[in-house]
């Protein structure tokens, strides 16, 4: 196939497919009436059309049905009471009929050749169950960092088990073979977050292989505001997913060591995020939670030093975090943003000059 990819070495001779597999695009949505139109339009505008586009309304109270009415029967609309993103994904999974399912969050956008390109990877390597892609981060309508690059792919395809136990490195919007999703029981609806990491752990540890297309094929919108509350939910759910691994999966001694190390890091990050939330809210627990960060192994000295200041002056530290919420961001971009003179708008990426569109 054209373009750079990261794939595992084949176990033996592989017969390519004569035609690409079919893709169901599932769009989970909750209170997303003002955003979902872009996601649906991007799915319907693919150079290789999707098998189906399924919008899964997770009990929204806004006018989501009005926002999608213009698409008519070009999409399928499903609604459930509010149960969370894992349940919304499962709703789409159980009603999908494509060979692969790819999730596009309601505030994200697929670039026009997304399905065509990952379809080419699936044809070339039919042994892969997980088809990953790079994406652009978008903030205030401007294209910024890329989640993966040829220089820094962060994707050990030949050792994906160890890589995934060490870090959450498979993008949540990856396309997954539907039959494998069904085989392992779908997404864990008990998780409020990190349901994607949990399912990738279960897939990979039960034998699924993954490949990565390094060309950015989608856009992920960054939301403004404090990320600390999201971090508490994210790291807490990641800890649950990793704990399940020890209970349910057969792993080598090396893999268990890597998982324990990741679990320690996640617990340290959770302690930091909980302390920041307490400081921002002026909670009586702020001093105690900050002291826990000071004493916690696995955190850098700067983080522990800031926590030490918060132990002495929690009110001042709280005002500082409220004034600059980005201090709480525990997940900096993987790749440095492009310089200002090379940054592009969303419309320039979706409709590049010379394509005759726009």
Can you give the pLDDT at residue 208? 97
Instruction: Evaluate whether residue 343 is within a structural domain.
Output: no
If one compares 204 and 316, the residue with the highest pLDDT of the two is: 204
Last residue of a domain, one of 202, 221, 240: 221
Say if residue 229's pLDDT is above 90: no
Say if residue 337's pLDDT is above 50: no
Q: Rounded CA gap, 254 and 98, in Å? A: 37
Verify that 169 and 290 share a domain, yes or no.
Answer: no
Verify that 151 and 247 share a domain, yes or no.
Answer: no
For the chain, give the mean pLDDT: 87
Lowest mean pLDDT among 90-99, 121-130, 266-275: 266-275
Instruction: Evaluate whether residue 184 is within a structural domain.
Output: yes
Verify that 190 and 252 share a domain, yes or no.
Answer: no
Last residue of a domain, one of 172, 194, 221: 221
Verify that 152 and 195 share a domain, yes or no.
Answer: yes
Nearest to 79, CA basis, from 54, 104, 58, 53: 58
Lowest mean pLDDT among 189-193, 257-261, 277-281, 337-341: 337-341
Verify that 43 and 111 share a domain, yes or no.
Answer: yes
Can you give the pLDDT at residue 323? 74
The percentage of residues in the chain with a pLDDT greater than 90, rounded to a whole number, is 68
Instruction: Evaluate whether residue 352 is within a structural domain.
Output: no
Verify that 265 and 314 share a domain, yes or no.
Answer: yes
Can you give the pLDDT at residue 326? 52
Last residue of a domain, one of 168, 188, 221: 221
Say if residue 343's pLDDT is above 90: no
Confidence of residue 332 (pLDDT cuts 50, 70, 90): very low
Structural domain including 287 reads 228-328
* Three-point CA angle 98, 102, 108, nearest 5°: 140
Instruction: Evaluate whether residue 344 is within a structural domain.
Output: no
Verify that 46 and 163 share a domain, yes or no.
Answer: yes
Which one-letter DSSP state was computed for residue 63? S
* Tens digits of residue pLDDT in 149-178: 777 778 999 999 999 999 999 999 999 999
Say if residue 148's pLDDT is above 60: yes
102 beta partners:
25, 175
Q: What's the rounded mean pLDDT across residues 29-56?
A: 97
* Tens digits of residue pLDDT in 290-326: 999 999 877 888 888 888 998 999 898 888 877 765 5
Report residue 345: phi and psi, to 5°: -80, 165
- The answer to whether 82 touches 54, Cβ cutoff 8 Å, is no
Instruction: Evaluate whether residue 251 is within a structural domain.
Output: yes
Confidence of residue 19 (pLDDT cuts 50, 70, 90): very high
What string of H, E and C letters represents the secondary structure of 139-182? ECCEEEEECCCCCCCCCCHHHHHHHHHHCCCCCCCCEEEHHHHH
Can you give the pLDDT at residue 101? 98
Verify that 123 and 181 share a domain, yes or no.
Answer: yes
Confidence of residue 86 (pLDDT cuts 50, 70, 90): very high
* Three-point CA angle 113, 219, 111, nearest 5°: 15
Residue indicated by tokens 């297309």: 213
Q: Rounded CA gap, 200 and 168, in Å? A: 9
Say if residue 80's pLDDT is above 90: yes
Verify that 70 and 208 share a domain, yes or no.
Answer: yes
Can you give the pLDDT at residue 349? 55
Verify that 130 and 45 share a domain, yes or no.
Answer: yes
Q: What's the rounded mean pLDDT across residues 77-88?
A: 96
Q: What's the rounded mean pLDDT across residues 259-278?
A: 92
Instruction: Evaluate whether residue 155 is within a structural domain.
Output: yes
Instruction: Evaluate whether residue 353 is within a structural domain.
Output: no
* Domain CATH code at residue 205: 3.90.550.10
321-324: list long-range contacts, CB under 8 Å, 24+ apart.
321/226, 321/228, 321/276, 321/279, 321/280, 322/280
Can you give the pLDDT at residue 2? 65
Instruction: Evaluate whether residue 133 is within a structural domain.
Output: yes
What are the tokens at 29?
A: 């949505």
What distance separates the 2 farthest-apart alpha carbons in the chain? 67
Q: What's the rounded mean pLDDT across residues 183-191?
A: 95
Say if residue 37's pLDDT is above 80: yes
- The answer to whether 253 touches 162, Cβ cutoff 8 Å, is no
Q: Rounded CA gap, 310 and 341, in Å? A: 39
DSSP letters for 226-271? --HHHHHHHHHHHHHHHHHHHHH----HHHHHHHHHHHHHHHHHHH
Can you give the pLDDT at residue 224? 52
For residue 7, the SS3 value is coil
Verify that 313 and 216 share a domain, yes or no.
Answer: no
* Tens digits of residue pLDDT in 235-264: 999 999 999 998 877 899 999 999 999 999
153 beta partners:
none
Confidence of residue 205 (pLDDT cuts 50, 70, 90): very high
Verify that 70 and 209 share a domain, yes or no.
Answer: yes
How many domains, the chain? 2
């Amino acid at each position: 196939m054209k373009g750079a990819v990261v794939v595992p070495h084949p176990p033996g001779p592989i017969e390519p497919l004569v035609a690409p597999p079919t893709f169901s695009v599932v769009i989970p949505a909750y209170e997303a009436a003002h955003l979902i139109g872009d996601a649906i339009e991007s799915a319907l505008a693919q150079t290789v059309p999707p098998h189906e586009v399924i919008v899964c309304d997770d009990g929204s109270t806004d006018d989501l049905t009005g926002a999608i009415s213009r698409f008519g029967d070009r999409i399928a609309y499903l609604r459930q009471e509010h149960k969370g993103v894992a349940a919304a994904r499962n709703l789409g999974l159980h009603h999908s009929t494509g060979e692969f399912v790819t999730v596009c969050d309601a505030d994200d956008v697929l670039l026009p050749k997304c399905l065509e390109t990952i379809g080419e990877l699936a044809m070339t390597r039919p042994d892969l169950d997980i088809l990953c892609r790079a994406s652009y981060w978008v903030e205030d309508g401007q294209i910024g960092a890329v989640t993966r690059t040829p220089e820094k792919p962060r994707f050990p395809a030949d050792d994906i088990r160890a890589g995934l136990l060490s870090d959450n490195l498979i993008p949540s919007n990856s396309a997954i073979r539907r039959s494998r999703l069904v085989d392992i029981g779908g997404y864990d609806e008990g998780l409020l977050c990190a349901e994607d990491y949990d399912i990738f752990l279960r897939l990979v540890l039960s034998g699924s292989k993954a490949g990565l297309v390094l060309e950015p094929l989608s856009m992920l919108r960054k939301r403004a505001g404090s990320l600390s509350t999201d971090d508490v939910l994210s790291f807490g759910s990641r800890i649950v997913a990793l704990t399940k691994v020890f209970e349910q999966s057969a792993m080598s001694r090396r893999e268990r060591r890597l998982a324990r190390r990741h679990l320690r890091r996640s617990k340290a990050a959770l302690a930091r995020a909980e302390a920041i939330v307490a400081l921002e809210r002026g909670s009586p627990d702020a001093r105690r939670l900050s002291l826990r960060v000071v004493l916690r192994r696995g955190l850098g000295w700067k983080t522990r030093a800031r926590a030490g200041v918060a132990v002495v002056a929690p009110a001042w530290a709280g005002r500082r975090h409220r004034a600059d919420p980005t201090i709480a961001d525990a997940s900096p971009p993987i790749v440095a943003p492009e310089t200002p003179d090379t940054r592009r708008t969303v419309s320039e990426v979706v409709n590049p000059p010379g394509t005759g569109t726009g």
